[in-house]
Structure 1
Amino acid sequence: MTVRYTVGEVPDLAAYQMLCAAAWHGPGPASLKRLDHSLTWICAYDSARLVGFVNVAWDGGIHAFLLDPTVHPDWQRRGLGRELVRRAAEEARERGMHWLHVDFEPHLTSFYRACGFRATEAGLMRLA
């Protein structure tokens, strides 16, 4: 498997929607307009096929946030997710970020620990 990574290049919407459908079992977003507010994002391609994606949002200061880390199920457990997170962290650091945050479900704890994250307390309020 030879994977090519891109930084800040907007993926094809249809390809992103197909990735989301495979990984999240639901439709992807209607547009990629939300990327206009991101610090950057990383895409992973196997040949021309989009197989991974992670969005790096930010607060306008020194905090960055991983959003939508996604790997196609056929490419999972091959190190692609860790590489997406590693590259996202590297890009955030190069852009002056001091902190990288991520929210995740409990079954992903070992993955994020392997990526270098440590547990912290946080609050969450449901708005809708």
Structure 2
Amino acid sequence: MNHKVVINLPIEPHEVPTLRQRAGWDGRHADYPVLFERCNFWAGVREVNDELIAFGYVSGMGLQHGYMEDIIVHPHYQNEGLGQALVEKLLEEAERFGLEIVTLTYDSRHTSLYTRSGFTPCSGGVWRKKV
């Protein structure tokens, strides 16, 4: 893998929603650029043509605990180690930032990615607003 993961990579508001949609997720266009103002830090990767091909972030109070979210890799670049490189770079920044605990939720098919990066699977719960 020859792509560089960059902390707080300059990203235009439309780029993450576009990447989300390419990965088959809801674009959540209204979240950007507000997300960049509210999260602790983010990381991104660009291809040689300057297209955003990977993104993720850590949010929270920034005291002891943070929450990693939206680890997204463009479908054409999946299974090349880019997701793991993104997660590991975010964890390095979390440590530099002073976080002692980082949590995340993920689909069970991604367990090996996160355990290779140092996460310990555990039980938990998720609350969602009823729509």
Length-normalised TM-score, structure 1: 0.90
Task: Name the CA distance, whole Å, in 1 between partners of 2:62 and 2:15.
Answer: 29
Task: Name the CA distance, whole Å, in 2 between partners of 1:25 and 1:122.
Answer: 23
Show the counterpart of 1:49: 51
Show the counterpart of 2:35: 34
Task: Name the CA distance, whole Å, in 2 between partners of 1:17 and 1:94.
Answer: 28
Task: Name the CA distance, whole Å, in 2 between partners of 1:97 and 1:25.
Answer: 28
Gapped regions of structure 2 (runs ≥ 5): none
**Where does 1:1-128 land on structure 2 (aligned, <5 Å)?**
2-30=2-30, 31-47=32-48, 48-128=50-130
Question: How many corresponding residue pairs?
Answer: 128
More strand by proportion, 1 or 2? 1
How far residue 17 of structure 1 moved from its aligned partner, in angstroms, is 2.2
How far residue 15 of structure 1 moved from its aligned partner, in angstroms, is 2.4
| RMSD over aligned Cα atoms | 1.6
- Between 1:21-30 and 1:102-111, the stretch displaced more is 21-30
Task: Name the CA distance, whole Å, in 1 between partners of 2:100 and 2:91.
Answer: 10
Task: Name the CA distance, whole Å, in 2 between partners of 1:2 and 1:37.
Answer: 30
Task: Name the CA distance, whole Å, in 2 between partners of 1:25 and 1:71.
Answer: 11
Task: Name the CA distance, whole Å, in 1 between partners of 2:15 and 2:70.
Answer: 15
Gapped regions of structure 1 (runs ≥ 5): none
Question: What is the percent sequence identity of the aligned residues?
Answer: 24
Moved segments of 4+, more than 4 Å: none
- Between 1:60-69 and 1:86-95, the stretch displaced more is 60-69
How far residue 6 of structure 1 moved from its aligned partner, in angstroms, is 1.9
